Protein backbone atom coordinates (compact mmCIF):
# COMPACT_ATOMS: atom_id res chain seq x y z
CA UNK A 1 0.00 0.00 0.00
CA UNK A 2 1.34 3.42 -0.97
CA UNK A 3 2.47 5.55 2.00
CA UNK A 4 0.60 8.75 2.82
CA UNK A 5 2.33 12.02 1.93
CA UNK A 6 4.94 12.60 4.61
CA UNK A 7 4.77 8.95 5.69
CA UNK A 8 1.89 8.98 8.18
CA UNK A 9 -1.87 9.36 7.86
CA UNK A 10 -2.84 12.24 10.13
CA UNK A 11 -5.88 11.92 12.39
CA UNK A 12 -6.97 15.11 14.12
CA UNK A 13 -10.29 13.82 15.42
CA UNK A 14 -10.22 13.73 19.22
CA UNK A 15 -11.29 10.72 21.29
CA UNK A 16 -14.51 10.63 23.30
CA UNK A 17 -13.01 11.87 26.57
CA UNK A 18 -11.31 14.84 24.91
CA UNK A 19 -14.47 15.50 22.93
CA UNK A 20 -16.45 15.99 26.13
CA UNK A 21 -13.78 18.27 27.59
CA UNK A 22 -13.47 20.47 24.49
CA UNK A 23 -17.23 20.67 24.00
CA UNK A 24 -17.56 22.02 27.54
CA UNK A 25 -14.67 24.43 26.96
CA UNK A 26 -15.80 25.81 23.59
CA UNK A 27 -18.40 28.37 24.77
CA UNK A 28 -15.73 30.16 26.81
CA UNK A 29 -13.34 30.53 23.84
CA UNK A 30 -13.12 33.17 21.11
CA UNK A 31 -15.24 32.06 18.21
CA UNK A 32 -14.52 31.97 14.48
CA UNK A 33 -17.02 31.02 11.77
CA UNK A 34 -15.56 29.19 8.78
CA UNK A 35 -16.69 29.60 5.19
CA UNK A 36 -17.51 26.61 2.95
CA UNK A 37 -13.95 26.17 1.68
CA UNK A 38 -12.46 26.38 5.16
CA UNK A 39 -14.98 23.83 6.43
CA UNK A 40 -13.96 21.45 3.63
CA UNK A 41 -10.29 22.00 4.40
CA UNK A 42 -10.85 21.41 8.11
CA UNK A 43 -12.64 18.15 7.45
CA UNK A 44 -9.91 16.96 5.11
CA UNK A 45 -7.23 17.82 7.66
CA UNK A 46 -9.26 15.95 10.31
CA UNK A 47 -9.39 12.68 8.39
CA UNK A 48 -5.85 12.75 7.02
CA UNK A 49 -6.74 13.57 3.41
CA UNK A 50 -4.38 16.54 3.74
CA UNK A 51 -1.58 14.61 5.46
CA UNK A 52 0.97 15.72 6.59
CA UNK A 53 -0.97 18.89 7.53
CA UNK A 54 -2.29 18.77 11.07
CA UNK A 55 -3.79 22.23 10.97
CA UNK A 56 -3.96 25.46 8.99
CA UNK A 57 -0.64 26.71 7.65
CA UNK A 58 1.61 29.13 9.48
CA UNK A 59 3.61 31.83 7.67
CA UNK A 60 6.66 29.67 7.00
CA UNK A 61 4.70 26.94 5.24
CA UNK A 62 2.47 29.52 3.51
CA UNK A 63 5.40 31.46 2.01
CA UNK A 64 7.22 28.31 1.03
CA UNK A 65 4.15 26.82 -0.65
CA UNK A 66 3.33 30.03 -2.52
CA UNK A 67 6.91 30.69 -3.68
CA UNK A 68 8.44 27.23 -3.93
CA UNK A 69 5.53 24.78 -4.19
CA UNK A 70 6.85 23.03 -1.10
CA UNK A 71 6.16 22.96 2.62
CA UNK A 72 8.84 24.61 4.73
CA UNK A 73 10.42 21.22 5.40
CA UNK A 74 10.71 20.57 1.66
CA UNK A 75 7.84 18.22 0.95
CA UNK A 76 6.00 19.06 -2.31
CA UNK A 77 2.77 20.98 -1.68
CA UNK A 78 1.31 23.42 -4.15
CA UNK A 79 -1.80 25.02 -2.63
CA UNK A 80 -1.96 27.13 0.57
CA UNK A 81 -4.36 25.73 3.15
CA UNK A 82 -5.13 28.74 5.30
CA UNK A 83 -7.73 30.16 7.63
CA UNK A 84 -8.57 33.83 7.11
CA UNK A 85 -9.88 36.51 9.41
CA UNK A 86 -10.82 40.12 8.70
CA UNK A 87 -9.27 43.21 10.27
CA UNK A 88 -11.69 45.45 12.04
CA UNK A 89 -14.07 42.68 12.99
CA UNK A 90 -13.13 40.21 15.66
CA UNK A 91 -9.57 39.86 14.33
CA UNK A 92 -7.95 41.61 17.29
CA UNK A 93 -9.22 39.12 19.84
CA UNK A 94 -7.30 36.25 18.30
CA UNK A 95 -3.92 36.04 19.98
CA UNK A 96 -1.20 33.44 19.40
CA UNK A 97 -1.21 30.87 22.19
CA UNK A 98 -4.99 30.99 22.46
CA UNK A 99 -7.46 28.27 21.63
CA UNK A 100 -10.22 29.34 19.24
CA UNK A 101 -13.51 27.56 18.74
CA UNK A 102 -14.32 26.95 15.06
CA UNK A 103 -17.93 26.85 13.86
CA UNK A 104 -19.66 26.40 10.52
CA UNK A 105 -22.15 28.92 9.16
CA UNK A 106 -25.04 26.99 10.76
CA UNK A 107 -23.35 27.56 14.13
CA UNK A 108 -22.33 23.93 14.60
CA UNK A 109 -19.24 23.62 16.78
CA UNK A 110 -16.57 21.76 14.82
CA UNK A 111 -13.10 22.12 16.24
CA UNK A 112 -10.53 23.95 18.29
CA UNK A 113 -7.73 25.85 16.57
CA UNK A 114 -4.60 25.98 18.71
CA UNK A 115 -3.48 29.34 17.39
CA UNK A 116 0.26 29.46 16.94
CA UNK A 117 0.60 32.39 14.60
CA UNK A 118 -1.37 35.25 13.10
CA UNK A 119 0.14 36.79 9.98
CA UNK A 120 -0.74 39.10 7.14
CA UNK A 121 -1.54 37.42 3.86
CA UNK A 122 0.27 38.57 0.75
CA UNK A 123 -2.75 38.07 -1.48
CA UNK A 124 -1.29 39.68 -4.61
CA UNK A 125 1.73 37.42 -4.42
CA UNK A 126 -0.45 34.42 -3.57
CA UNK A 127 -2.73 35.03 -6.56
CA UNK A 128 0.17 35.73 -8.93
CA UNK A 129 1.99 32.53 -7.97
CA UNK A 130 -0.79 30.08 -7.16
CA UNK A 131 -3.43 31.22 -9.64
CA UNK A 132 -0.98 32.85 -12.08
CA UNK A 133 -3.25 35.88 -12.32
CA UNK A 134 -4.61 38.82 -10.37
CA UNK A 135 -7.54 39.19 -12.74
CA UNK A 136 -10.81 39.74 -10.90
CA UNK A 137 -12.64 37.50 -13.36
CA UNK A 138 -10.82 34.44 -11.99
CA UNK A 139 -12.94 32.79 -9.26
CA UNK A 140 -9.83 32.13 -7.16
CA UNK A 141 -8.96 35.83 -7.19
CA UNK A 142 -12.55 36.70 -6.33
CA UNK A 143 -12.36 34.31 -3.39
CA UNK A 144 -9.10 35.85 -2.13
CA UNK A 145 -10.65 39.31 -2.27
CA UNK A 146 -13.69 38.13 -0.34
CA UNK A 147 -11.80 36.81 2.68
CA UNK A 148 -9.88 38.51 5.47
CA UNK A 149 -6.34 39.85 5.14
CA UNK A 150 -4.86 37.92 8.04
CA UNK A 151 -4.33 34.19 8.29
CA UNK A 152 -4.44 32.13 11.47
CA UNK A 153 -2.04 29.19 11.66
CA UNK A 154 -2.00 26.29 14.06
CA UNK A 155 -2.96 22.68 14.68
CA UNK A 156 -6.60 21.72 14.99
CA UNK A 157 -8.39 19.31 17.28
CA UNK A 158 -11.57 18.26 15.56
CA UNK A 159 -14.41 17.58 17.95
CA UNK A 160 -17.34 17.10 15.57
CA UNK A 161 -16.90 16.02 11.97
CA UNK A 162 -18.68 18.21 9.48
CA UNK A 163 -22.28 17.14 8.89
CA UNK A 164 -22.73 17.19 5.16
CA UNK A 165 -26.35 17.19 4.05
CA UNK A 166 -25.81 14.99 1.03
CA UNK A 167 -24.01 11.93 -0.26
CA UNK A 168 -23.05 10.66 3.18
CA UNK A 169 -23.10 7.05 1.96
CA UNK A 170 -20.44 7.95 -0.59
CA UNK A 171 -18.18 9.75 1.88
CA UNK A 172 -15.14 7.58 2.53
CA UNK A 173 -12.19 8.83 4.55
CA UNK A 174 -8.66 7.93 3.46
CA UNK A 175 -8.43 5.14 6.00
CA UNK A 176 -11.71 3.76 4.68
CA UNK A 177 -10.64 3.80 1.03
CA UNK A 178 -7.34 2.24 2.11
CA UNK A 179 -9.33 -0.45 3.93
CA UNK A 180 -11.38 -1.03 0.78
CA UNK A 181 -8.32 -1.33 -1.46
CA UNK A 182 -6.61 -3.68 0.94
CA UNK A 183 -9.73 -5.77 1.35
CA UNK A 184 -10.21 -6.06 -2.39
CA UNK A 185 -6.53 -6.82 -2.93
CA UNK A 186 -6.17 -3.90 -5.30
CA UNK A 187 -2.54 -2.87 -5.52
CA UNK A 188 -2.64 -0.31 -8.33
CA UNK A 189 -5.53 2.09 -8.10
CA UNK A 190 -6.01 5.12 -10.29
CA UNK A 191 -8.12 8.07 -9.16
CA UNK A 192 -10.16 10.24 -11.47
CA UNK A 193 -10.93 13.77 -10.34
CA UNK A 194 -13.90 15.50 -11.86
CA UNK A 195 -16.31 18.34 -11.28
CA UNK A 196 -18.26 17.72 -14.49
CA UNK A 197 -20.61 14.99 -15.70
CA UNK A 198 -18.84 12.12 -17.43
CA UNK A 199 -18.97 12.24 -21.20
CA UNK A 200 -17.45 9.74 -23.58
CA UNK A 201 -14.06 11.47 -23.60
CA UNK A 202 -13.79 11.10 -19.81
CA UNK A 203 -14.97 7.51 -19.99
CA UNK A 204 -12.36 6.78 -22.64
CA UNK A 205 -9.42 8.01 -20.57
CA UNK A 206 -10.75 6.29 -17.44
CA UNK A 207 -10.94 3.00 -19.30
CA UNK A 208 -7.52 3.47 -20.92
CA UNK A 209 -6.15 3.96 -17.42
CA UNK A 210 -8.10 1.01 -16.06
CA UNK A 211 -6.48 -1.24 -18.67
CA UNK A 212 -3.16 -0.85 -16.85
CA UNK A 213 -4.16 -0.84 -13.17
CA UNK A 214 -6.26 -3.01 -10.85
CA UNK A 215 -9.04 -0.54 -10.15
CA UNK A 216 -10.52 2.89 -10.76
CA UNK A 217 -11.61 5.21 -7.97
CA UNK A 218 -14.04 7.70 -9.42
CA UNK A 219 -13.56 10.57 -7.00
CA UNK A 220 -15.76 13.52 -7.96
CA UNK A 221 -15.17 16.76 -6.16
CA UNK A 222 -18.20 17.65 -4.08
CA UNK A 223 -16.97 20.70 -2.20
CA UNK A 224 -17.70 24.27 -3.20
CA UNK A 225 -17.62 24.98 -6.95
CA UNK A 226 -18.63 27.92 -9.17
CA UNK A 227 -22.34 28.68 -9.15
CA UNK A 228 -22.61 27.89 -12.86
CA UNK A 229 -21.06 24.41 -12.49
CA UNK A 230 -23.56 21.55 -12.65
CA UNK A 231 -24.93 20.83 -9.15
CA UNK A 232 -23.27 17.99 -7.27
CA UNK A 233 -26.40 15.83 -6.94
CA UNK A 234 -26.98 15.95 -10.72
CA UNK A 235 -23.38 15.00 -11.35
CA UNK A 236 -23.59 12.14 -8.89
CA UNK A 237 -26.66 10.80 -10.66
CA UNK A 238 -24.67 10.85 -13.93
CA UNK A 239 -21.81 8.92 -12.31
CA UNK A 240 -24.15 6.33 -10.85
CA UNK A 241 -25.85 5.74 -14.18
CA UNK A 242 -22.63 5.41 -16.11
CA UNK A 243 -21.01 3.11 -13.55
CA UNK A 244 -24.06 0.88 -13.46
CA UNK A 245 -24.17 0.52 -17.22
CA UNK A 246 -20.65 0.78 -18.57
CA UNK A 247 -18.01 -0.06 -15.96
CA UNK A 248 -16.96 -3.37 -14.38
CA UNK A 249 -18.39 -3.23 -10.88
CA UNK A 250 -15.63 -5.53 -9.63
CA UNK A 251 -12.93 -3.01 -10.48
CA UNK A 252 -14.57 0.35 -9.92
CA UNK A 253 -15.50 2.38 -6.85
CA UNK A 254 -17.25 5.71 -6.49
CA UNK A 255 -16.65 7.98 -3.54
CA UNK A 256 -16.92 11.73 -3.12
CA UNK A 257 -13.94 14.03 -2.65
CA UNK A 258 -14.96 16.77 -0.22
CA UNK A 259 -12.48 19.42 -1.37
CA UNK A 260 -13.50 22.84 -2.65
CA UNK A 261 -12.34 23.90 -6.11
CA UNK A 262 -9.57 26.50 -6.31
CA UNK A 263 -9.42 26.67 -10.13
CA UNK A 264 -5.64 26.85 -9.74
CA UNK A 265 -4.95 24.69 -12.80
CA UNK A 266 -1.52 23.02 -12.75
CA UNK A 267 -0.87 23.65 -9.05
CA UNK A 268 -4.23 22.14 -8.19
CA UNK A 269 -3.43 19.07 -10.32
CA UNK A 270 -0.42 18.30 -8.11
CA UNK A 271 -2.49 19.06 -5.00
CA UNK A 272 -5.24 16.71 -6.18
CA UNK A 273 -2.70 13.98 -6.89
CA UNK A 274 -1.05 14.26 -3.47
CA UNK A 275 -4.42 14.10 -1.72
CA UNK A 276 -5.42 11.01 -3.72
CA UNK A 277 -2.17 9.39 -2.57
CA UNK A 278 -3.41 9.90 0.96
CA UNK A 279 -6.58 8.05 -0.03
CA UNK A 280 -4.34 5.11 -1.02
CA UNK A 281 -4.34 5.61 -4.79
CA UNK A 282 -1.13 4.78 -6.64
CA UNK A 283 -2.03 6.56 -9.90
CA UNK A 284 -3.83 9.75 -10.79
CA UNK A 285 -5.37 10.72 -14.11
CA UNK A 286 -4.48 14.18 -15.36
CA UNK A 287 -6.38 15.23 -18.45
CA UNK A 288 -6.30 18.43 -20.43
CA UNK A 289 -6.65 21.72 -18.55
CA UNK A 290 -7.02 20.03 -15.17
CA UNK A 291 -8.75 22.29 -12.62
CA UNK A 292 -8.50 25.11 -15.13
CA UNK A 293 -10.64 28.14 -15.70
CA UNK A 294 -11.00 30.18 -18.88
CA UNK A 295 -7.74 30.77 -20.71
CA UNK A 296 -5.57 31.28 -17.65
CA UNK A 297 -3.58 28.05 -18.08
CA UNK A 298 -2.09 26.26 -21.05
CA UNK A 299 -3.95 23.13 -22.10
CA UNK A 300 -1.22 20.83 -20.81
CA UNK A 301 0.38 22.96 -18.09
CA UNK A 302 -1.08 20.53 -15.56
CA UNK A 303 1.10 17.83 -17.15
CA UNK A 304 4.34 19.83 -17.27
CA UNK A 305 4.23 20.88 -13.63
CA UNK A 306 4.90 17.31 -12.53
CA UNK A 307 8.33 17.60 -14.18
CA UNK A 308 9.27 20.08 -11.47
CA UNK A 309 9.28 17.31 -8.88
CA UNK A 310 11.20 14.07 -8.58
CA UNK A 311 8.99 11.09 -9.15
CA UNK A 312 9.89 9.67 -5.73
CA UNK A 313 8.85 12.76 -3.80
CA UNK A 314 5.39 12.88 -5.37
CA UNK A 315 5.25 9.07 -5.34
CA UNK A 316 1.76 8.77 -6.84
CA UNK A 317 2.10 8.21 -10.60
CA UNK A 318 0.38 10.78 -12.81
CA UNK A 319 -1.27 9.34 -15.92
CA UNK A 320 -1.36 12.04 -18.57
CA UNK A 321 -4.04 12.11 -21.23
CA UNK A 322 -4.45 14.39 -24.22
CA UNK A 323 -7.70 15.76 -25.57
CA UNK A 324 -10.00 12.81 -26.39
CA UNK A 325 -12.85 12.57 -28.90
CA UNK A 326 -14.69 10.17 -31.18
CA UNK A 327 -13.10 9.97 -34.61
CA UNK A 328 -15.45 9.04 -37.45
CA UNK A 329 -12.62 7.78 -39.63
CA UNK A 330 -11.04 5.69 -36.89
CA UNK A 331 -14.51 4.56 -35.85
CA UNK A 332 -13.60 4.77 -32.18
CA UNK A 333 -12.63 7.04 -29.32
CA UNK A 334 -9.13 8.40 -29.70
CA UNK A 335 -6.92 11.27 -28.69
CA UNK A 336 -4.57 13.65 -30.41
CA UNK A 337 -1.85 11.14 -29.51
CA UNK A 338 -3.51 8.22 -31.24
CA UNK A 339 -5.53 9.65 -34.13
CA UNK A 340 -4.00 10.88 -37.38
CA UNK A 341 -7.15 12.47 -38.79
CA UNK A 342 -8.16 16.11 -38.78
CA UNK A 343 -10.71 17.78 -36.54
CA UNK A 344 -13.23 17.57 -39.39
CA UNK A 345 -13.47 13.85 -38.64
CA UNK A 346 -13.83 14.33 -34.90
CA UNK A 347 -17.13 14.61 -33.08
CA UNK A 348 -16.75 17.54 -30.76
CA UNK A 349 -19.49 19.51 -29.05
CA UNK A 350 -18.57 22.56 -27.00
CA UNK A 351 -19.84 22.88 -23.44
CA UNK A 352 -22.10 25.75 -24.46
CA UNK A 353 -23.59 23.83 -27.39
CA UNK A 354 -24.09 20.73 -25.22
CA UNK A 355 -25.92 22.80 -22.59
CA UNK A 356 -28.17 24.26 -25.29
CA UNK A 357 -28.97 20.78 -26.58
CA UNK A 358 -29.77 19.43 -23.10
CA UNK A 359 -31.93 22.46 -22.33
CA UNK A 360 -33.87 21.93 -25.56
CA UNK A 361 -34.37 18.26 -24.70
CA UNK A 362 -32.13 17.12 -27.56
CA UNK A 363 -30.00 14.06 -27.00
CA UNK A 364 -26.44 14.64 -28.25
CA UNK A 365 -24.83 11.90 -30.36
CA UNK A 366 -23.97 8.73 -28.43
CA UNK A 367 -20.37 9.29 -29.52
CA UNK A 368 -20.34 12.42 -27.34
CA UNK A 369 -22.31 11.31 -24.31
CA UNK A 370 -24.06 8.16 -23.13
CA UNK A 371 -27.87 8.30 -23.42
CA UNK A 372 -28.24 7.58 -19.68
CA UNK A 373 -26.12 10.63 -18.86
CA UNK A 374 -27.97 12.73 -21.45
CA UNK A 375 -31.27 11.77 -19.81
CA UNK A 376 -30.11 13.01 -16.39
CA UNK A 377 -28.78 16.27 -17.84
CA UNK A 378 -31.88 16.94 -19.96
CA UNK A 379 -34.01 16.49 -16.82
CA UNK A 380 -31.76 18.94 -14.95
CA UNK A 381 -31.62 21.64 -17.62
CA UNK A 382 -35.32 21.50 -18.50
CA UNK A 383 -36.35 21.77 -14.83
CA UNK A 384 -33.87 24.65 -14.43
CA UNK A 385 -35.45 26.41 -17.42
CA UNK A 386 -38.94 25.88 -16.03
CA UNK A 387 -37.88 27.27 -12.65
CA UNK A 388 -36.25 30.33 -14.28
CA UNK A 389 -39.37 31.02 -16.35
CA UNK A 390 -41.58 30.71 -13.27
CA UNK A 391 -39.31 33.11 -11.36
CA UNK A 392 -39.41 35.62 -14.26
CA UNK A 393 -43.22 35.73 -14.09
Partner 1 sequence: MECPLGPIRVSSECHLSVPSNIEAQVFVEIYRSLLRRRLIGPPLDQPNSFQKDAMKESKVTVKIPRPLYRKIQVLIGDSGFNSATDFIVFVLRDLVGRTETSDGDFSSEEIKEVKKKLKNLGYL
| Catalytic (active-site) positions | 195-196
Q: Within positions 54 to 73, which residues make up the interface with partner 1, using CB under 8 A?
A: none
Find the distance separating the first CA and the last CA of the chain, reported in whole Å. 58
Among residues 149 and 176, whose Cβ is nearest to partner 1? 176
- Rounded to whole angstroms, what are the CA distances from 38 to 33, 248, 328, 348, 373? 9, 36, 46, 37, 32
The answer to whether the peptide bond before residue 118 is cis (omega within 30 degrees of 0) is: no
**E strands within 70-121?**
84-85, 99-103, 109-120
**Minimum Å distance from CB 306 to partner 1?**
9
User: Pick from 89, 227, 249, 342: which binds partner 1 (CB under 8 A)?
Assistant: 249
- Rounded to whole angstroms, what are the CA distances from 254 to 176, 178, 378? 13, 14, 23
Among residues 102 and 158, whose Cβ is nearest to partner 1? 158
Cα Rg, the chain, nearest whole Å: 22
Among residues 186 and 297, whose Cβ is nearest to partner 1? 186
Distance CA 87, CA 89 (A): 6
Tell me if 233 contacts partner 1 by CB under 8 A.
no
**Minimum Å distance from CB 30 to partner 1?**
33
Segment near partner 1 (CB under 8 A); pick from 127-135, 176-184, 354-362, 378-386: 176-184
Distance CA 213, CA 197 (A): 23
Helix (H) or strand (E) holding 177: helix 174-184
Tell me if 329 contacts partner 1 by CB under 8 A.
no
**Minimum Å distance from CB 304 to partner 1?**
6
Backbone phi, then psi, for 42, in 5-degree steps? Answer: -60, -45
Q: How many residues bind partner 1 (CB under 8 A)?
A: 21
User: Pick from 238, 253, 260, 333: which binds partner 1 (CB under 8 A)?
Assistant: 253
Q: Within positions 277 to 316, which residues make up the interface with partner 1, using CB under 8 A?
A: 300, 304, 307
Tell me if 182 contacts partner 1 by CB under 8 A.
yes
Q: Which of 9, 375, 21, 295 is nearest to 177 (CA)?
A: 9
Tell me if 47 contacts partner 1 by CB under 8 A.
no
Look up residue 166 and give its DSSP letter. S
Distance CA 237, CA 4 (A): 30
Tell me if 381 contacts partner 1 by CB under 8 A.
no
Tell me if 207 contacts partner 1 by CB under 8 A.
no
User: Pick from 16, 88, 183, 228: which binds partner 1 (CB under 8 A)?
Assistant: 183
Tell me if 7 contacts partner 1 by CB under 8 A.
no
Among residues 289 and 367, whose Cβ is nearest to partner 1? 289
Tell me if 257 contacts partner 1 by CB under 8 A.
no
Q: Please, which residues have CB within 8 angstroms of residue 130's CB and are 6 or more apart in sequence?
A: 66, 78, 79, 80, 140, 262, 264, 267
Residue 230 contacts residue 147 (beta carbons within 8 Å): no
Tell me if 248 contacts partner 1 by CB under 8 A.
yes
Residues contributing to the site for partner 1 (CB under 8 A):
9, 169-170, 172, 175-176, 179-180, 182-186, 248-250, 253-254, 300, 304, 307
Amino acid sequence: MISPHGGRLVNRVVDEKERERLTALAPSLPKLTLNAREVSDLDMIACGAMSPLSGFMGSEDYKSVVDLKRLAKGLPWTIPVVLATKIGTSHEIYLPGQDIALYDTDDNFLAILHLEEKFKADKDNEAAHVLRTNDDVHPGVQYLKSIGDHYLGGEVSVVNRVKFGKFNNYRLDPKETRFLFKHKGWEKITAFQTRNPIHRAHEYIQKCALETVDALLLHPLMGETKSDDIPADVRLECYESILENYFPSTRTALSVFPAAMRYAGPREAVFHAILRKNYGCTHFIVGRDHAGFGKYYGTYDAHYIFNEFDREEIDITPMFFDHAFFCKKCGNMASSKTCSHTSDDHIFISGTKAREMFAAGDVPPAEFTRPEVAEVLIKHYTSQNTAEKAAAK
